Amino acid sequence: MNQNQVDEPEHSQGEQEESLNRKFKIVAEAFSELFELLEQYAPTWYTEQHHDRALAAHSVVEKSKGAAN
């Protein structure tokens, strides 16, 4: 292994952040779709506690979307 291989990271910090942002968007979109389905169909096992937790998480996702714009 030469000195350049030791000093240079595999990916720059900017590339890692961009990759993480893309992954977060995928997760956020999937969560939003699942949240909407739970709210629409309200299965019997979907308790008020589940709803409250999902609503709090949905709020975080929506705020992050607004911050990204």
SS (H, E, C) the chain: CCHHHHHCCCCCHHHHHHHHHHHHHHHHHHHHHHHHHHHHHCCCCCCHHHHHHHHHHHHHHHHHHHHHC
Domain of 49?
A: 12-68
What are the 10-residue block averages of pLDDT along the chain, 69 residues in total?
A: 55 85 93 96 97 96 81
Residue 59 lies in a domain: yes
pLDDT of residue 5: 52
Average pLDDT, the chain: 86
Tokens of 36: 């909407």
Residue 3 placed within a domain: no
Please tell me the pTM assigned to this model. Answer: 0.70
- Count of domains for the chain: 1
At 45-55, the pLDDT tens digits run: 999 999 999 99
Is 7 among the domain residues? no
Please give the C-alpha separations between residue 41 and each of 35, 38, 45, 61, in angstroms, as whole numbers.
Answer: 10, 5, 11, 21
The reply to whether 6 falls in a domain is no
Is 2 a domain residue? no
27, part of any domain: yes
